[in-house]
Structure 1
Amino acid sequence: MSTILFDQIVFGPIHSRRLGSSLGVNLLPFDGKVCSFDCIYCECGYNEDGRTKTSLPTREDVKAALDHKLHQLREENISIDVITFAGNGEPTLHPHFSGIIDDTIDLRNKLYPEAKISVLTNAMHINKVGIFETLKKVDNNILKLDSAFIETVRLIDQPAAPSYSIERQIELFKKFEGNFILQTMFLKGSHNGKSIDNTSPREIEAWLKIIEITKPKEVMIYTIDRETPEKNLEKVSVEKLREIGTEVQKLGIKVNIAG
């Protein structure tokens, strides 16, 4: 199985299909994966295959690495659109996530005031007050929801917590009062002998209802771009993504499509 792990705290900038020129920040170990989801499409592989005893970078390490990289980019006259927290797993699991975001906001304001700060999160931990309040500070808090049905989410995303529920996620999303971006991975295939297709009429209808209820400022829809740990998956066509995107636009919400 081929996987992609980020071996630095700060990496890039790279071209992001959804965000433009993105400077990545990895708050997880450089040689393994730490996540509260175990998505069957994750480019970092399965959690089991990414186990590591390597420590998380400290808040001071992250600040120093980001400060150094931003100064370097300024000296080289390289522009960036966004500073993105992603990397080898779930960034909000870092125990000093809130402080790191505060440091990042300060550095961004001093060195790249035009750049946005984005966090790609599976949204499992937004029930924690500290995480919720911190995500409200960033420009793009990008929250995952791959289906309106718990059975589909458990098949595709495999959340670690048995208590994870769609109903609770909806209520948590609503607390952002529209100041969040919803991201959804669309795919087809099978896993453990079970068929997967979160583009079916039933799936899309229920998913659109959640969008209508939670009113995100933007919806990002995308499909597989790299090798996945589950081999029985296939991309969704750009045409199908655009069809889904059109339904979102009918709700008066901006759509970002990455095929």
Structure 2
Amino acid sequence: MPTFLFDKIVFGPVHSRRLGVSLGINLLPVNGKLCSFDCLYCECGLNKDNKGGGGIPSRSAVKTALEETLLHMKAEGQAPDVITFAGNGEPTLHPSFSQIIDDTIALRDTYFPHAQVCVLSNATQLHKPAVLEALRRVDQPILKFDSAFDTTVKRMDRPVSTTFSVAGLVEQLKNFGDKLIIQTLFTKGSYQGLAFDNTTDEELTAWIEQLKHIAPASVMIYTIDRDTPIADLEKIPLETLEAIAVRVQRETGLVVSVAG
């Protein structure tokens, strides 16, 4: 199915079903994808299909592009709810991620002090102290946790690293701190003969048990909304997502938001 790549460093603002009016920042190549996961549901496509030749933007280029956009929005009377790091892959892979976060917070404080700084991340770089501390500094560190089972994660999210483990991820998430927001995408399907479904009772029971250990500030659950690179993926009905949310709240007391 058709997918797309962001062609600018700063994009939007767009209306996000989870975050409101969001001004996006893409720290990855504008004509290619760079990610430590290779999710079958990724709107940017599969890693192998999007090996662009362009490099990543410099810290100064990101700062300039963001400030120009914020100045324009200020002049137009537009105000973002959030400034969101997303884009063509995993933003924390940028070697200057920590410094860029500091620049962004400073610009936010200057132009739109009420806006939140948000990072959407797959949490694979939490072992790097600079990345961990930078994520702790943002208002909304939203980190992926799609399944408590290695088999499901390897079929659905497809980590690039051969040493990835859910146990290791959970341990890092447990130690993150009190701002942590867990984000989970629910879907079912198959690829190359391997099926996955993270909505089964077995999956949900194990996932909820790990949420108890992680103890995040809140949980966001959602399903596919845009085109995906793999056709055989199922959009989970809103009623199912809402039932999952009720179960999480009942069993953990956590705040859960749903986007169908």
The answer to whether 1:255 aligns with 2:256 is: yes
- In 2, Cα distance between equivalents of 1:256 and 1:82: 17
Name whichever of 247-256 and 216-225 sits farther off.
247-256
- In 2, Cα distance between equivalents of 1:21 and 1:243: 27
The offset of 1:195, in angstroms, is: 1.8
Give the AA of the match of 1:177: G
> Residue 17 of structure 1 contacts residue 258 of structure 1 at CA under 8 Å; is this kept in 2?
yes
Secondary structure at the aligned position of 1:164 is classed as coil
The offset of 1:103, in angstroms, is: 0.2
Give the AA of the match of 2:88: N
Match of 2:77 in 1: 77
Give the AA of the match of 1:258: A
- In 1, Cα distance between equivalents of 2:118 and 2:179: 13
Match of 2:7 in 1: 7
Task: State how 1:124-135 maps to structure 2 within 5 Å.
Answer: 124-135=124-135
List alignment gaps of at least 5 residues for structure 1: none
- In 2, Cα distance between equivalents of 1:69 and 1:177: 31
Match of 2:61 in 1: 61
1:158-187 alpha-carbon deviations (Å, 9 max, x no partner): 001111111111110111233200001100
The offset of 1:53, in angstroms, is: 1.7
Secondary structure at the aligned position of 1:243 is classed as helix
- In 2, Cα distance between equivalents of 1:79 and 1:108: 11
> Residue 177 of structure 1 contacts residue 215 of structure 1 at CA under 8 Å; is this kept in 2?
no
1:108-153 alpha-carbon deviations (Å, 9 max, x no partner): 0010000000000010010111100110000011110110000000
Match of 2:169 in 1: 169
1:35-94 alpha-carbon deviations (Å, 9 max, x no partner): 010000000000011102201100000000000000100100012100000000000000
Match of 1:152 in 2: 152
Task: State how 1:29-108 maps to structure 2 within 5 Å.
Answer: 29-108=29-108
> Residue 11 of structure 1 contacts residue 23 of structure 1 at CA under 8 Å; is this kept in 2?
yes
Give the AA of the match of 1:254: V
> Residue 32 of structure 2 contacts residue 51 of structure 2 at CA under 8 Å; is this kept in 1?
yes
> Residue 219 of structure 1 contacts residue 254 of structure 1 at CA under 8 Å; is this kept in 2?
yes
- In 2, Cα distance between equivalents of 1:8 and 1:30: 6
Match of 1:244 in 2: 244
TM-score, normalization: structure 2? 0.98
1:188-232 alpha-carbon deviations (Å, 9 max, x no partner): 111111222100000000000011111000101000101111111
Give the AA of the match of 2:78: I
> Residue 25 of structure 1 contacts residue 86 of structure 1 at CA under 8 Å; is this kept in 2?
yes
Secondary structure at the aligned position of 1:167 is classed as helix
Match of 2:197 in 1: 197
Secondary structure at the aligned position of 1:161 is classed as coil
> Residue 178 of structure 1 contacts residue 214 of structure 1 at CA under 8 Å; is this kept in 2?
no
TM-score, normalization: structure 1? 0.98
Name whichever of 156-165 and 242-251 sits farther off.
242-251
The offset of 1:241, in angstroms, is: 0.2
Q: Identity rate of aligned residues, in percent? A: 51
Secondary structure at the aligned position of 1:37 is classed as coil
Give the AA of the match of 2:120: L
Match of 1:226 in 2: 226
Task: State how 1:169-188 maps to structure 2 within 5 Å.
Answer: 169-188=169-188
List alignment gaps of at least 5 residues for structure 2: none
Give the AA of the match of 2:215: K
- In 1, Cα distance between equivalents of 2:46 and 2:152: 18
Match of 2:17 in 1: 17
Secondary structure at the aligned position of 2:118 is classed as strand
